[in-house]
Structure 1
Amino acid sequence: MVRVRIKFEKTGCMKFIGHLDVMRYFQKVLRRADIPVVLSEGFSPHMQMSFASPLGVGKTSSGEYFDVDLLEPASSEKLVRRMNEQMVEGMRVLSVKKVPADKANKCMTLTAAASYTVSLNPDRISIPDNLSTLAEGFLSQSEITVMRKTKRKEELTDIRPWIFSLTAQDTSLHMLLSSGSVHNLKPELVMEALASYGSFGLPEYSFRIHRNELYADKGTDGDVRLVPLEELGEEIV
């Protein structure tokens, strides 16, 4: 048995497909590609797949991940090719890497941050002329308090510690945010806080969100050292 980490992109019309349907889609892809996968035990055997961080409907991404256990190892190149032969437009496998087969190294457990590009729509929003300066001033605040919804309640939360970086270029914003099971900050919430800080409106469909990458924190003694999940695996030859 070998555990592999599969990196894929989700673009185009596939951004409207929800997380559960993405899981079912990859189960079919693995079967059609004739890739032998380890099944769970019991009366209803099924593929055990661990996704790093569900992507919200309407977002595109070039840095999605899931882990799955294979019965027989094959080369990374062969696995990528066989899966992509079964893919539809808007879904593509980018890499397959071998990773340690223990709970501590599951991509869901490791995920600590995510990078995003938020593209503003000039037809729907009056983009501030000083967007870069605005982003710098926003990030220089010692606290950024917003009303944040959780599963059970709404509460005022300081999200500043969860924003690792925020820069602007032309009509786009680039964000590196905390992600995962401990602190999960959505880019929509950052945009709402930025709009409030800059006193500009955010009408419906005024921006698009693309997730670029997911990261693990491999720092020690409180130091943050973010590493793409892909780099924690190794090529299978």
Structure 2
Amino acid sequence: MRLRIKFRKYGSVRYIGHLDVMRFFQKAIRRAEIDVAYTNGFSPHQIMAFAAPLGVGITSNGEYMDIEVHSVTSCQDIMEKLNQASVPGIEIISVKILPETAGNAMASVAAAAYTVQFRKDRTPLTDFSEILPDFLAKEHIWTARKTKNGTREIDLKAGIFQLTYSDGIFSMIVDASSGGNIKPGQVMEALLAETGESLQENALIITREDVYTKVRDESGEKLLSLNEIGFVEGELS
């Protein structure tokens, strides 16, 4: 049986990298005495998969981890036990049972939602309400991406699914798949470049709000929150 666990990451824990978060959950699951499944072999480890590693320094209200278990008391009980075994800065929001047809959390990721704002002492002079419509209407939105082989130009246009601005806060949904993986900072750099400004170091406060997969129904292809897949005991999937 597979469970999907949604959690928040905030406060000083945002400076903890993905591997340390994974190690934390391995210990928390043992402390919570969850009947987790292990791999076979000489060095067995807990069967778990995270939806999308979060960058260091970014807070999140929508992180996801799938684990495999042999048995379940109840989703509520597992959530409470994990929170009791947790630390300040990591809070379990929900636990759901995944249907057999559900894809792996990591392989399912198609997009992510973020809110972004500038730190007060690093706010640019640009009037974003004025330039945003023209920015989104562009045929191409070019930016530079550093790779192990150097720097190359990439077009962000197709990977910006939604971008709005209100009261000093940007809300965006961008491609987070393995083939796209657009970072909020790249969008902000490209936006500032429209007026000749550059993004200052450590200028952004970024929060990941949710992670999405793509599904298809009679109306076509659409984005669906990973939290909408699965059910708690007593519910239909």
TM-score range, shorter chain: over 0.9
> CA 1:5/1:151 → structure 2, altered by over 3 Å: closer, same or farther?
farther
Corresponding residue for residue 112 of structure 2: 114
Pairwise mapping of residues 142-157 of structure 1 onto structure 2 (< 5 A)?
Answer: 142-157=139-154
| Cα distance in 1, alignment partners of residues 133 and 203 from structure 2 | 21
The alpha-carbon deviation at position 133 of structure 1 amounts to 2.6
Counterpart Cα distance in 1 of 2:150 and 2:35: 43
Tell me, in whole angstroms, the C-alpha distance in 2 between the residues paired with 1:6 and 1:142. 39
Match of 1:167 in 2: 164
Give percent identity, aligned residues only.
40
- Rounded Cα–Cα distance in structure 2 between residues aligned with 1:159 and 1:124: 24
Tell me the equivalent position of 2:70. 71
In structure 2, the partner of 1:200 is 197
Q: For 1:221 and 1:161, how far apart are their aligned partners in 2? A: 23
Partner of 2:25: 26
- Which residue number corresponds to residue 229 of structure 1? 226
Q: How does 1:87-98 map to 2 (within 5 A)?
A: 87-98=86-97
The answer for the alignment partner of 1:216 in structure 2 is: 213
CA contact under 8 A between 1:27 and 1:47: conserved in structure 2?
yes
SS in 2 for 1:188: helix
Runs of at least 4 residues off by over 6 Å:
none
**8 Å CA contact 1:127, 1:171 repeated in 2:** no
Distance 2:119 2:213 in 1: 31
Answer yes or no: is 1:13 the counterpart of 2:9.
no
Superposed CA deviations along residues 49-93 of structure 1, whole A, max 9, x for unmatched, are 111000000000000001110111221111110100111111000
Taking a change above 3 Å as real, the CA distance of residues 111 and 235 of structure 1, as seen in their structure-2 partners, is: same
Which residue in 2 is equivalent to 1:105? 103
With the length of structure 2 as denominator, give the TM-score of the two structures: 0.93
Would the aligned equivalents of 1:125 and 1:203 in 2 still touch at CA under 8 Å?
A: no
CA displacement at 1:182 relative to structure 2: 2.3
Which range moved further: 146-155 or 87-96?
146-155
**Which residue of the partner structure matches residue 178 of structure 2?**
181
Alpha carbons of 1:127 and 1:12: their partners in 2 closer, same or farther (altered >3 Å)?
farther
Unaligned runs of 5+ in 1: none
User: d(CA) in 2 for partners of 1:150 and 1:6?
Assistant: 32
How far, CA to CA, are the matches of 1:64 and 1:179 in structure 2? 13
CA shift digits 1:158-183 (9 cap, x unpaired): 11000001111111111110002221
Q: Does 2:104 align with 1:126?
A: no
Q: Following the alignment from structure 1 to structure 2, what is the Cα–Cα distance between the partners of residues 224 and 207?
A: 32
Q: Which residue of 1 aligns with 2:81?
A: 82
CA 1:116–1:57 in 2, change beyond 3 Å: closer, same or farther? same
Matched, 1:38 2:37: yes
Separation (CA, whole Å) in 1 of partners of 2:149 and 2:96: 37
Where does structure 2 lack aligned partners over 5 or more consecutive residues? none
State the distance in 2 between where 1:54 and 1:82 align.
24
